[in-house]
Structures are given as C-alpha cells and as structure tokens.
Amino acid sequence: MKVLTPLELEETFRSWDAGYDLRVPIRLPDGTRAWGKIDEGPLALRGGPILAKPTAFFFPQSETELEYEETGKLRLPSPPSRPFLLVGLTAQDAESIAFVDEFFRANFQDDLYFRRREGAVIVVVWGRCGQNGELLRRAKQGCDLELVWDGERLLLIPRSERGWELYLAVRGGKEEEASPSLEEMEKEAACLMAADEELLRRSSALLLEDRIPDQFWEEVSKSCIACTACNLLCPTCTCFEVYDWKEENKVERRRLWDSCQLEGFAREASGHNPLGTEASRTRRRIHHKLGADAARWGRITCFLCGRCDVVCPTGLGIKALSREMVRRYGP
C-alpha cells in the first residue's frame, strides 16, 4: 500500500484524468456532494454515499440504443472514447455494481451496459470518512482500488489487475507493508452492518413465507406520492422502458429508466394492469429485492446503500418497511 498526502492524491487524480473519464466526489455550492470532473468543484471524499445512482455511469437514465435512417442505414452507438474511472463509491455501491454486472450478463448480455462498463475502474473510499467521521466498511467485491482514511493518513491499496496498473503508475507516496489501523478498522467495520443485514434477512424470510398480508401494503402505500426517488437512486434497480422517437430523417430507439412505483409500470396494451394499485406496486418494489431476487439469485439484492431510506419523503425506504414488517409479523 502507499501512504499519500492530500496533495499527492490530487496529483494522482490529475494523472489518471489523462487516460480515463475520471469522476470524483466534489462539493457543490449548496454544500451537498456529487460526482463530477476534477475541476468542477473542490474534492469531497468524506461523507459516505453520494445521493446519485452509482450505476448511472454505465446505465444512464436515457440513452439511444440504435438509429434507423430513412436510407435504410442502421447506426449503433459508438463506445466511449475513454473508460470511466469512478472514485468515491462506498463498499455497498461497489457490491451493487458487481451484482448489476451479473444481472446484465445473465441470459442475454446487455452490450449497451458493457460498452461503458468494460475497462472501467472502481475506487472505493472507506475508513473513518463517513458522514460525521463514522466508519465505512471495506468492499467484499467490485473494487479495483481502495482509498482508505484511517483517521490520520490516506492509504491507497490495489485490489485488481486494473487497480495494480494504476497503482504502479502513481508517482510519490510512501510504500508500506501493512498498517495495524487497517486491521482494527476492518474488525470494527465487520460488525457495522450486522444488525441491518439481519433485519433484511428476517423481512426476506417473512416475504418468502408469504406472511405479510395485503392489508399491510394497503396501509403503508397510502403515503407514497410516486415521486420515484427510491427507484431512481437505487444502485440495483435496473428496470427501463424502450420507445421509438421519430425525427425528420431517422427513428431513434431509446431506453429510459422506469419505476415500479408508477401507475403505468406494468400496464398491458389491453389496459389490464397487474400492478394497478399503489399497494401492489410498493409490495413489488420491496418483494423484488427481498423475495423474488432472493429466490432467483440466491441472495438479497438490496446492499443497504441507504439511499431509499434517506430520500423517500414519506418513510417508505426498504429498511423502514423491513423494520415494520418484522415488528408486526416477525416471530
């Protein structure tokens, strides 16, 4: 690992910026954080999850799948000129991306996703750098390089072949074999999510055993205002719709993120809507990650990034609903 000063880190980012489409966490004028280019604002590495969908770099909200010209020519989108290098993801974000990779590779590979994802590098930030200095845990997968704040020093640790390539090109910094502070933080962080993971396991079991009555969903969903923020920020939400857009000399086939909290999400051409009530849509959003995906993939596909609980204006995030399910119907 390398120990870097803040200045060495910034120089490292600038050198990476030459070969990659680099995005780093920056501070916006209103005090919040966002992913931006290195000169778009002051670096803001500390603070935990950024309130934006981390998978959006590979699966943007709206994109053109193909263009069909009047002349009969079919045009496919060209790959990006430089691969992405994303700095500032949390462990949960990196693990979500690893799942979305698997999702978009299963059965039929989604080339639109992989033309951006292939060659991309993920740098996870962890250590004592969450909001108000709390500990962020280490990623189990999906991470190429780690940037760690141990409370006093910035450490850079390669985790994959791509990570090593970037690491070896870093100028400056002090090489160290190991750091006792890292081990301490890892041990401490191992217990961090245990209670929340157990909560999801218990609510998942209740859903799989069909122990949550419809009445529960009818009651809780009354407050949903269908703003769709829960879906639009969730790193593992992958639903999109496809439509054709006619221009003067061509037709563009586009895709656009969809939200299962919207009334038209599952409406069929006949008019029949299997998710015609807010209650069935709210149940579907939660059941998908904790029930259906648990059955399909053998694991829950909420990685507890925390965004839906933070952004839902009416308290219908996955943790809040899981807590309520376990409180009312748990053993």
CA atoms within 13 A on the CB side of 228: 14
Residue 236 near ligand SF4 by CB under 6 A: yes
x/- binding map, residues 72-111, to ligand SF4, per CB under 6 A? Answer: ------------------------x---------------
For ligand SF4, the closer of residues 12 and 221 by Cβ is 221
**Is 309 within 8 Å of 196 (Cβ atoms)?**
no
Q: How far is the CB of 283 from ligand SF4 (least distance, A)?
A: 11
The interface with ligand SF4 within residues 312-331 (CB under 6 A) comprises 312-314, 316-318
For ligand SF4, the closer of residues 123 and 224 by Cβ is 224
| List 52, 192, 227, 292, residue binding ligand SF4 (CB under 6 A) | 227
For ligand SF4, the closer of residues 230 and 326 by Cβ is 230
Residue 307 near ligand SF4 by CB under 6 A: yes
For ligand SF4, the closer of residues 251 and 311 by Cβ is 311
Residue 261 near ligand SF4 by CB under 6 A: yes
- For the chain, where are the E strands, in sequence order? 2-4, 21-27, 33-36, 62-69, 74-75, 84-89, 121-127, 145-149, 154-158, 174-175, 240-246, 250-257
Tell me the C-alpha distance between 266 and 251, whole Å: 25
Nearest residue to 262 (alpha-carbon basis) of 294, 284, 247, 287: 284
Tell me the C-alpha distance between 154 and 288, whole Å: 39
Tell me the C-alpha distance between 81 and 286, whole Å: 38
Q: How far is the CB of 177 from ligand SF4 (least distance, A)?
A: 35
Nearest residue to 100 (alpha-carbon basis) of 81, 122, 83, 78: 122
For ligand SF4, the closer of residues 43 and 302 by Cβ is 302
Q: How many residues bind ligand SF4 (CB under 6 A)?
A: 28
Interface segment toward ligand SF4; rule CB under 6 A; list 115-123, 167-175, 204-212, 219-227: 219-227
**Is 89 within 8 Å of 125 (Cβ atoms)?**
yes
| List 190, 226, 242, 295, residue binding ligand SF4 (CB under 6 A) | 226
Tell me the C-alpha distance between 166 and 196, whole Å: 34
The interface with ligand SF4 within residues 116-175 (CB under 6 A) comprises none
Instruction: Indicate the length of the chain as a whole number.
Output: 331
Secondary structure of 86-98 as H, E, C letters: EEEECHHHHHHHH
Interface segment toward ligand SF4; rule CB under 6 A; list 2-10, 20-28, 33-41, 234-242: 234-242
The residue type of 277 is T
For ligand SF4, the closer of residues 91 and 170 by Cβ is 91
| List 76, 106, 225, 239, residue binding ligand SF4 (CB under 6 A) | 225
Q: Starting at the edge strand that comes first in sequence, how are the strands of the sheet with 74-75 ordered?
A: 74-75, 62-69, 250-257, 240-246
Q: Between 318-329 and 214-221, two packed helices, what is the crossing angle to 10 degrees? A: 140
For ligand SF4, the closer of residues 124 and 305 by Cβ is 305
Q: Compute CA 88 distance to the chain's CA centroid, rounded to the nearest angstrom.
A: 12
Interface segment toward ligand SF4; rule CB under 6 A; list 148-156, 184-192, 210-218, 299-307: 299-307
Residue 238 near ligand SF4 by CB under 6 A: no
**Residue numbers of the site for ligand SF4 (CB under 6 A)?**
96, 224-230, 233-236, 261, 289, 302-308, 311-314, 316-318
